[in-house]
Amino acid sequence: MKPALPTPKKFTLLAGAAEGSTKLNAFDNALLAAGIGNLNLLRVSSILPPEAEYVEKLSIPPGSLTPTAYGSLASDQPGEVISAAVGVGFSAGSFGVIMEYSGSCEQKEAEEKVRLMLENAFRQRGIKLEKTMIKGIQWQVKEIGAVFAGVALWY
């Protein structure tokens, strides 16, 4: 059976944070800071296709539909520290697993939560976790801020 959509061949880890005049504008600005703000994100769950190639920088035309697993958070509480992190776990000869997290915490805590979720996801699947890639970001809210961390899957 042929899949309904083509299977992505590339992936990129992204993170950004910014302020905005509203929570939605802050989120949009965080997307721009991450380098994914001019794309149409299709939120997906947690599986990285087998043999997907890591590419450090996105190279996709504006407006493209882009499958993305992500965590994000917007806050209007001045002084609050917010973070988002995303991670990919790998095992030889298998698909990868993506996990994401966002919360009122420091980046280090968000990244640790993602690492633990990856370990659990592989344990649940009975697959050996051999390598991880994790990317996170934190932001101290000035007025209205947002954080974003994601894994973009593309062709």
Of all residues in the chain, the percent with pLDDT exceeding 90 is 94
The CATH number for 71's domain is 3.50.20.10
Which amino acids are annotated catalytic? 40, 45-46, 100
Q: Residue 4 CB: number of other CB atoms within 10 A?
A: 5
Query: How far is C-alpha 139 from the geometric centre of its chain's CA atoms?
Result: 16
pLDDT digits (tens, 9 = 90+) for 11-34: 999 999 999 999 999 999 999 999
Whether residue 112 lies inside any domain: the answer is: yes
**Per-residue pLDDT averaged across 86-106, rounded?**
96
In this prediction, residue 93 carries a pLDDT of: 87
Whether residue 91 lies inside any domain: the answer is: yes
Whether residue 5 lies inside any domain: the answer is: no
Mean pLDDT computed over every residue of the chain = 96
Whether residue 4 lies inside any domain: the answer is: no
Q: Residue 139 CB: number of other CB atoms within 10 A?
A: 24
d(CA 33, CA 49): 26
In this prediction, residue 103 carries a pLDDT of: 98
Number of domains in the chain: 1
* 2: pLDDT strictly greater than 80: no
